[in-house]
C-alpha cells in the first residue's frame, strides 16, 4: 500500500499536466488566429518608415487651434480640401488639456497643397496657422541645447568646480588667488 499523501501528490501532478496540455492547445489556437489576420492589419499597428514618411507627406500642421475645438470641427473646416483620414489634437500628457495645435492627415498629397490656402483663416474666432507637416529624422535634434552639456546642476552639469557652481571672487581690492577659492573642509 502506498502512502495517501503520495497518492494526493500524484493526482495533483496529473491535474497539472492536463492543465498544461489545455494551455498549449489554447496557445496554438491563438497563434492560428494571429496568423490568419491580414498583413495590412498587422502593418497598421507598426508602420514602416516609408509608411510614416508617406503619411507625413499627406499631413498638415495646424497651429493656434482653439482649446475647445474638437476633431469633428477641424475635419469640417478642412473638408473642402479633400478626404480627411485622421485628425489628431495633441494634449498635455500630465493635465490632459489640449496644447493648441493639431495634425490632419488627408487621403492624397494634392489635398495638402489645397489646404495650405487656409493659412491665416479664421477657425472658432482665431487665426490658424497651416503648414505642411515635417518628417522627424531619427537622431537629429532641433532643440537649442549646447553640445556635450547636460541641463541642471550637479556632477554632469556645467562648470568644472564644485558640482556646477563656480566660486565667487572678491569684488574690491587686491586678492590672493587662493583666497577666493571656497573650500568646505
pLDDT single digits (tens) 153-173 = 555 444 455 555 555 665 555
**What cell numbers appear for 17 in the block?**
499536466
Low pLDDT (below 70) residues in the chain: 1-2, 36-45, 141-185
- Position 101 scores a pLDDT of 95
Residues 169/180, Cβ–Cβ less than 8 Å:
yes
Task: Give pTM, 2 decimals.
Answer: 0.54
Quote the pLDDT of residue 49: 85
Confidence at residue 166, expressed as pLDDT on a 0 to 100 scale:
58
| Per-residue pLDDT at 137 | 73
pLDDT at residue number 184: 63
Tell me the C-alpha to C-alpha distance, in Å, between residue 8 and each of 2, 4, 11, 17.
Answer: 11, 6, 5, 14
**Alpha-carbon torsion (156, 161, 163, 165), positive or negative:** negative
Give the integer Cα–Cα distance in Å for 26 and 31. Answer: 9
Amino acid at each position: 500500500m502506498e502512502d495517501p499523501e503520495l497518492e494526493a501528490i500524484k493526482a495533483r501532478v496529473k491535474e497539472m499536466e492536463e492543465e498544461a496540455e489545455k494551455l498549449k492547445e489554447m496557445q496554438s489556437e491563438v497563434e492560428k488566429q494571429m496568423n490568419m489576420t491580414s498583413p495590412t492589419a498587422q502593418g497598421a499597428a507598426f508602420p514602416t518608415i516609408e509608411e510614416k514618411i508617406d503619411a507625413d507627406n499627406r499631413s498638415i500642421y495646424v497651429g493656434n487651434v482653439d482649446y475647445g475645438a474638437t476633431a469633428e470641427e477641424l475635419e469640417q473646416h478642412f473638408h473642402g480640401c479633400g478626404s480627411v483620414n485622421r485628425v489628431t489634437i495633441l494634449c498635455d500628457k500630465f493635465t490632459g488639456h489640449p496644447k493648441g495645435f493639431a495634425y490632419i492627415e488627408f487621403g492624397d498629397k494634392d489635398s495638402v497643397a489645397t489646404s495650405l490656402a487656409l493659412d491665416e483663416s479664421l477657425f472658432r474666432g482665431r487665426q490658424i496657422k497651416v503648414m505642411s507637416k515635417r518628417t522627424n529624422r531619427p537622431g537629429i535634434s532641433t532643440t537649442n541645447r549646447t553640445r556635450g552639456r547636460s541641463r541642471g546642476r550637479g556632477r554632469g552639469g556645467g562648470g568644472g568646480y564644485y558640482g556646477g557652481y563656480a566660486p565667487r571672487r572678491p569684488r574690491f581690492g587686491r586678492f590672493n588667488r587662493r583666497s577666493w577659492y571656497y573650500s568646505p573642509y
